[in-house]
Structure 1
């Protein structure tokens, strides 16, 4: 099941429909969460245009009288069969089954309050609901709070809110899934934060999926792992070459004139990214070398055993 979350900041703006529909079709999305929709009445007709067909179900929480909040969850009825829906003032939790694997789980969409007291009340409300339903869970949302200091720069840091969020995640045994691409999901002037997150709890229940042997579970992971490797590592040499070209061109310009502020920033960024990719490539080479060495030892185990026995015999003599 492919999931998409977007803090849309107003679903009434027509020009947002086309990019959302394009993403849904390109990524083959089967579950979509939208936050900060600011809608006060049903938007089913607009959702149909976003989704692209009639084969969907949805759940919505309207915005407040001050145009704050608003959450929508949309999913493909053939892929995810919903059995129950739970809603709060700024969150939706759908309980159901992934049809292709007969895998019962819960998927949630959350838009956190801007104030600490509102968030704490929402966290407690969700916690009670999650604990009462003992099933795997995936929660997507803009939580409006960071988990640690490294997720925020250039603005005031609230340690109490971060502690509240961290304790809530720990109590529910949730895992904060890493993001690819940009480090921060919210920006304003010099302030940056990672407010959007995907939290899951799957490990214990994953081992007990009924009627699915372990080797089939591992097969399920094979395709997404191949896609992840292809997206992140197969193009490694091309990315290194691209950064080298950018650095070479800018350094050539610097021989003839002073670089402006934008060009200096590009040069520094290119050098930094090039360094990161070179380190990554070196690590990959080392891992492959070690793997290749282990394979050779396996193929030549008879030789290594004979050499070891011969050495012991020499020591005894």
Structure 2
């Protein structure tokens, strides 16, 4: 299951979803953005999750169904929290009604635009009224706020840092997945760190072959493919495809071989800057350095 918040897309198409997911064995539902703000998208592997019902609000998207490999009925709700206290109260009330309607184990995930502890907002000394409301709602709903193992904050803007992205699950969910863990993925170019839930350790199978979109913009790529394809002669089509992985891999190393390493180095440097900001170090030089690193990483 993959949830994206703030898609900024009024309409999401099957083409968009397949491009993001990587294949067409994907189910999906979305809430369109209003202009250039908001937007929610949930995607799932159709061989694992079978949807039964879908519910939508302005700031949340919920799918109810079954994890077929475990015969586990559940609901997953993607949330984009409101900004004002009154609007937040409306969202919490809607989610409470939704939980009562479905009557199954629940996972709420997303950007809740709120903290529940003072230490989750850098520089804060007290909880705001809306934060207290949110904390009370979690307790009233008997939800478990999963600990984030490797991050203190999930959102950065200048010298402001907060942990506003989280996953909240019911006790029934944890009974089914007692080894559930939460970690922050690489932030990359976003203001937010992605939040990743791991319910069990998954073994890595054979590494699949992947192509890069950037190959097709390289002026020598298609010429190389044609030449290598012709040189293989009259053999079975599938055998030809398998054989092509060798010259493609060689060509990739010669033309793009250092790309992943360079991107990783930029991401590591960006993370160092973020860690310094998290620890209270901030000045104009750091901000300018991060912008320069992000720009280089994008390029």
Give the TM-score of the pair, scaled to structure 1: 0.55
Q: Please tell me whether residue 148 in structure 1 is matched to residue 148 in structure 2.
A: no
Consecutive unaligned residues in structure 2, runs of 5 or more? 182-198, 204-271, 280-299
Question: What SS is found at the alignment partner of 1:121?
Answer: helix
Q: Residue 202 of structure 1: CA displacement?
A: 3.1
Note the 1:128-277 alignment, pairs <5 A. Answer: 128-154=97-123, 159-203=128-172, 224=200
**Higher Cα Rg: structure 1 or 2?**
1
Consecutive unaligned residues in structure 1, runs of 5 or more? 1-30, 210-216, 228-261, 270-317
1:53 match:
23
Question: What SS is found at the alignment partner of 1:224?
Answer: coil
Report if aligned partners of 2:33, 2:39 keep a CA contact under 8 Å in 1: yes
Write out per-residue CA displacement over residues 261-299 of structure 1, whole angstroms, 9 at most, x where no aligned residue: x9xx99xx9xxxxxxxxxxxxxxxxxxxxxxxxxxxxxx
Choose which of 79, 94, 100 in structure 1 pairs with 2:63: 94
Report if aligned partners of 2:146, 2:169 keep a CA contact under 8 Å in 1: yes
Q: Residue 193 of structure 1: CA displacement?
A: 0.2
Q: Residue 44 of structure 1: CA displacement?
A: 2.7
**Runs of 4+ displaced beyond 2 Å:** 154-158, 217-221, 223-227
Give the TM-score of the pair, scaled to structure 2: 0.58
Q: Residue 218 of structure 1: CA displacement?
A: 8.0
Q: Residue 226 of structure 1: CA displacement?
A: 10
2:187 match:
none
Equivalenced residue count is: 190
Q: State how far apart, in whole Å, the 1-side matches of 2:201 and 2:16 are.
A: 35
Q: Residue 183 of structure 1: CA displacement?
A: 1.1
1:258 match:
none
Q: State how far apart, in whole Å, the 2-side matches of 1:172 and 1:93 are.
A: 17
Question: What SS is found at the alignment partner of 1:154?
Answer: coil
Q: Residue 219 of structure 1: CA displacement?
A: 10
RMSD over aligned CA atoms reads: 3.0
Q: State how far apart, in whole Å, the 1-side matches of 2:87 and 2:105 are.
A: 26
Q: State how far apart, in whole Å, the 2-side matches of 1:220 and 1:190 are.
A: 32
Q: Residue 82 of structure 1: CA displacement?
A: 0.6
1:68 match:
37
Report if aligned partners of 1:97, 1:105 keep a CA contact under 8 Å in 2: yes
Q: Quick check: which one's helix share is greater? A: 1
Q: State how far apart, in whole Å, the 2-side matches of 1:226 and 1:95 are.
A: 24
Q: CA 1:219–1:152 in structure 2 vs 1: closer, same or farther (change >3 Å)? A: closer
Q: CA 1:159–1:41 in structure 2 vs 1: closer, same or farther (change >3 Å)? A: same
Q: State how far apart, in whole Å, the 1-side matches of 2:27 and 2:114 are.
A: 30
1:248 match:
none
